[in-house]
Amino acid sequence: MTKLIPIISAEEIKREIQNVAKLISRDYMDKKLILVGILKGSFIFLSDLTRQITIDHEIDLIGTSSYSGTQSCGAVNFTKMPDIELEGKDILIVEDIVDTGTTLTALMRYFSTLKPASVKICALINKNERRELPIDVHYSCFNIDKGFIVGYGLDYNEKYRNLPAIFDLKL
């Protein structure tokens, strides 16, 4: 039977996003910040984060897919490319969760070909257990060791994205 075990509450998420947004607002004060959210998992995080950032910034979206069920399948497919010109901009990639590091390694490589002023990463969750590629996560709200997490944008086979808090999924 599928079980959802609560691990991070809606209040904790809100508090951590406020903290991270403060840091970003300070660090990017004199920069050309653009948040690039990775579809689909980051859409709720992105929408809360952007509203807590107090400096002017742009928003774009990029689509990737590499997961089927709870298994990463290695190769990263781009399903949507950014619309806005990124040359000279300070790109902050907004990701729901960093797992093996495959997605972000591919994205860092792609974005660096577009001649941005800088590229950094902001992740809601940094999950360490299965990291295969070294990734510098510049801003993160939560660190977790292991598990398969759902809720607040994160899915299992497209379900549970709507849950307002974060749960460990036990199949």
Among 13, 24, 36, 41, binds ligand IMP (CB under 6 A): 41
Footprint (CB under 5 A) of Mg ion, residues 93-112: 96
Stretch that binds ligand IMP, among 1-9, 16-24, 112-120, 142-150 (CB under 6 A): 142-150
Tell me which of 20, 24, 34, 41 binds Mg ion, using CB under 5 A: 41
Question: Residue 50, interface with ligand IMP (CB under 6 A)?
Answer: no
Is 86 strand, coil or helix? Answer: coil
- Our answer to whether residue 99 is catalytic in this structure is yes
For 78-86, the CB contacts below 8 A with 24+ separation are 78/110, 79/39, 80/39, 82/36, 84/34, 84/58, 84/60, 86/34, 86/36, 86/60, 86/111, 86/114, 86/116
Residues forming contacts to ligand IMP in the complex (CB under 6 A) are: 38, 41, 66-67, 72, 95-103, 127, 148-150, 154
